[in-house]
Amino acid sequence: MDQSLRRKLDRITDILWAGGVTNPVTYIEQISYLIYLKLLDEEESARELKGRLGAGGSVRLFPQQAERFRWSKWRFRSGNDLRDFVRDEVFAYMASLVKDEPQVAEYFRDAVLEIADPNVLKQVIDELDSIDFRKLGPDVKGDVFEYLLTHLGQSALNGQFRTPRQIRAFMVEMVAPELGDTVYDPACGTAGFLIDVVDHVLARYSEEPEELPIYGEDWLERHEQTLDEARKEIPNLQTYRKGSGEKIPDWPRFEASIHGTDVSRSMMRISMMNLVLHGIRRGTLKCANVLSEMSGLTEDDRHRRYRVILSNPPFAGQVPRESLRQDLPTRSKKSELLFLALMLRSLAPGGRCAVVVPEGVLFGSTRAHKDLREKLLREYELLTVVSLPAGVFKPYSGVKTSVLAFRRPTAKPDEGRAATGKVWFYDLRNDGYDPDRIQAGGRPETPERNDIPGLLGSWAEYKASDYREPPGVEAGAVLDSGSEEPRCWWAPFDLIAGNDYNLAASRYRPQVAEDVPDEDPGELIREVLAIEREIAAGLEKLLEEVK
């Protein structure tokens, strides 16, 4: 995405901010409405061209009597006429397309134009009209929306904040989605995990995928470096890959494999637009409270199983017991336990899951905590617990978190045998951002301090053994004096089971032996006795003075 496009996007957000639309979630949602209307107009133009060339009779989005609702037909209006027409008629028409374009209708259902000032609306429309989305590839369109979403990094409204890209990236790498895998995020927010899965698969099916720093494609421009030059300077620079996916044989099938839900309709709309601009028009996104009996999910939704699940669900809050879904394998009211239970239930045999959990899930002493951990270890194969840095979600939350990665066996374990043999623990101390400082609403970059590339290197070794030989030393080992603090270690199932299924990484951390003192023990004892005599003499003297 070039600088001129960034400047246009900055002008749009500045116009909305100055016009009183200051909530980032709101103004991103409002921009997404208008972008969608422009995209639909461009798509209609493409269908018209195909019709004139005799390339098939595509169903028109705007049949003759509805031409007036097209972006190109009303964008020249101004004043109250423009605002009222878009608010009262265009949105209503889009929401009415339930039969012909159900996804469009769902997107605009209950949509409200909140740009009250018609002059502000006109300025935003003029700026968007100058962007020809048809000439932008899916990667650039996706970058447009990702750039807008950076504004959410400056707020955490109603608990909504984005999972940092560096964390999402290694979680996606761990579960390694394949073409054909159904992918699900039950608390998808802005669809960050789903977009990363799309990028991961597209890169694998591209002739020449591009490798970029985790800090964004403009990071190299700002540092006036090539990737090779940056790597020489920073050997552990974290990167990700992007590509066009031109080798994907069945695009509709790929689109249909993407699934997400979120309790917030605003988040659902934002995530849908994020996917649309990344080329995924037919992903399945729903606004639903997946923990509730009155969730809005169909029976098919409830019984669907997924090959890959990735999520960072809400940590706080409790669900009223009367509202809880009856089919979840826990009766806890805590949302973090309920979401983990939902993922266990929703994972298909042979499927993989990576999820962010608060540390309390790992060592909580309630019956619900212990039962859910026991189920995870006995019926599923828990592969790793990655302890994240304490400040990874600053400035929004200081809660200590970890990532669990596990898979569901294709067949039930033998009677009395647990699916998990060994659990690998990794202590991730640095994630490429300063853990203590906050600057411009976020943590400053520290690319030279990033343990994630090392984690992924060790994970590759672990995976090569089919997760039978975890790197590092066994829990309880005592390392030689002077050894470095270990980054990773493993514990057998029996040891964990004997500790109430406690999964806190620190519980099993190997110890480094202390240096044996060179001094003569007898001399040390004599020194201690001399000190004791001095203390005793001082007390005797004090006693004489107070008599």
Q: Where are the domains of the chain?
A: 3-135, 153-511, 522-547
What local confidence, expressed as pLDDT, does residue 391 receive? 81
CA 102 to each of CA 25, 105, 283, 333: distance values in angstroms, whole numbers, following the listed order:
24, 5, 12, 35
Indicate if the pLDDT at residue 385 is higher than 50: yes
pLDDT tens for each residue of 258-305: 999 999 888 888 899 889 888 888 899 999 999 988 877 889 999 999
- The per-residue pLDDT for 94 is 94
pLDDT of 73 reads 94
Q: What is the pLDDT of residue 70?
A: 95
Cis peptide before 395 (omega within 30 of 0): yes
pLDDT confidence bin for 441, thresholds 50/70/90? low
Token readout for 58 is 């595509």
| Predicted confidence (pLDDT) at residue 158 exceeds the cutoff of 60 | no
pLDDT of residue 145: 81
Q: Using an 8 Å Cβ cutoff, are 150 and 159 in contact?
A: no
The answer to pTM > 0.85 is yes
**Phi/psi class of residue 155: alpha, beta or left (left: φ > 0; alpha: ψ in -120 to 50)?**
beta
pLDDT reading at 159 higher than 80: no
pLDDT at residue 155, as a whole number: 47
Average pLDDT over residues 23-49: 88
Residues 6 or more apart whose CB falls under 8 angstroms from that of 329 comprise: 341, 344, 345, 372, 375
Sequence letter at residue 464:
A
In this structure, the number of other CB atoms found within 10 A of the CB of residue 110 comes to 10
**Contact (Cβ atoms closer than 8 angstroms) between residue 115 and residue 30:** yes
1 vs 70 pLDDT, higher one: 70
pLDDT of 87 > 80? The answer is yes
What pLDDT score does 521 carry? Answer: 76
Share of the chain above pLDDT 90, in %: 58
CA gap 470, 275 in Å, rounded: 36
Residue 513 pLDDT more than 60?
yes
Q: Which carries the bigger pLDDT value, residue 493 or residue 393?
A: 493
pLDDT score of 55 more than 60 = no
Contact (CB, 8 A) for 424 and 468:
no
Other beta carbons within 10 Å of 344: 21
Question: Which pLDDT score, from 0 to 100, does residue 488 have?
Answer: 96
Rounded CA-CA distance 390/257 in Å is: 34
Do 21 and 27 meet the contact criterion of CB atoms below 8 Å apart?
yes
Give the mean pLDDT of 458-463: 97
Of 2, 334, 274, nearest in space to 145 by CA: 274
Which one has a higher pLDDT value, 85 or 267? 85
User: How many C-beta neighbours within 10 Å does residue 374 have?
Assistant: 15
Which own/partner pairs from 6-15 qualify as long-range (CB within 8 Å, at least 24 positions apart)? 6/147, 6/218, 8/127, 8/130, 8/131, 9/144, 9/147, 9/148, 11/127, 12/124, 12/127, 12/128, 13/148, 13/151, 15/120, 15/123, 15/124, 15/127
Compute how many other C-beta atoms are within 10 angstroms of the C-beta atom of residue 382: 25
Contacts of 413 (CB under 8 A, 6+ apart): 378, 379, 419
Query: What is residue 249's predicted lDDT score, i.e. its pLDDT?
Result: 94
- Pairing between strand 183-185 and 258-262? parallel
Give the max Cα distance, the chain: 117
- The pLDDT value recorded for residue 1 is 65
Contact by Cβ (8 Å): 16, 120: yes
**Does the pLDDT at position 337 exceed 80?**
yes
Can you tell me the distance from the alpha carbon of 108 to that of 320, in angstroms, rounded to the nearest whole number?
30
Is residue 489 a contact partner of residue 472, using CB atoms and an 8 Å limit? yes
Indicate the range of 120-134, 287-301, 407-421, 506-520 predicted with least confidence: 506-520
For the chain, how far is it from start to end, CA to CA, in angstroms?
87
Q: What is the pLDDT of residue 53?
A: 67
Q: What are phi and psi of 61, to 5 degrees?
A: -75, -35
Give the whole-angstrom CA distance, residue 544 versus residue 547. 6
- Topology (CATH level 3) of domain 153-511: Rossmann fold (3.40.50)
Alpha-carbon distance values, 152 to 194, 335, 376, 389, 397 (Å): 17, 23, 34, 21, 14
Kindly tell me if the per-residue pLDDT of 75 is higher than 60.
yes
Write the class of the CATH domain 3-135.
mainly alpha
pLDDT reported for residue 154: 45
Cα distances (angstroms) measured from residue 63 to each of 51, 94, 378? 13, 13, 58
Bridge partner residues of 404 (DSSP): 355, 385
pLDDT > 80? residue 525: yes
In 412-494 the beta strands, taken as DSSP E runs, fall at 422-427, 431-433, 445-450, 473-474, 478-479, 488-492
CA separation for the pair 70, 44 (Å, rounded) = 9
Which residues touch 527 (CB under 8 Å, ≥6 apart)? none
Closest CA to 346 of 383, 384, 310: 310
pLDDT beyond 90 at 482: no
**pLDDT tens sequence across 347-363:** 999 999 999 999 999 99
Residue type, 307: R
For residue 91, count other CB atoms closer than 10 A to its CB.
20
Q: Catalogue the E-assigned strands of 68-195.
A: 183-185
pLDDT band of 178, cuts 50, 70, 90: very high
Beta carbons of 350 and 307 less than 8 angstroms apart: yes
What number of other Cβ atoms are within 10 A of residue 148's Cβ? 24
**Distance of alpha carbon 55 from alpha carbon 256, whole angstroms:** 25
Between residues 156 and 96, which one has the greater pLDDT?
A: 96
What is the C-alpha R_g of the chain? 28
Contact 370, 344 (CB under 8 A): no
Average pLDDT, the chain: 89
**Position with higher pLDDT, 161 vs 373:** 373
Give 470's pLDDT tier (boundaries 50, 70, 90).
Answer: very high
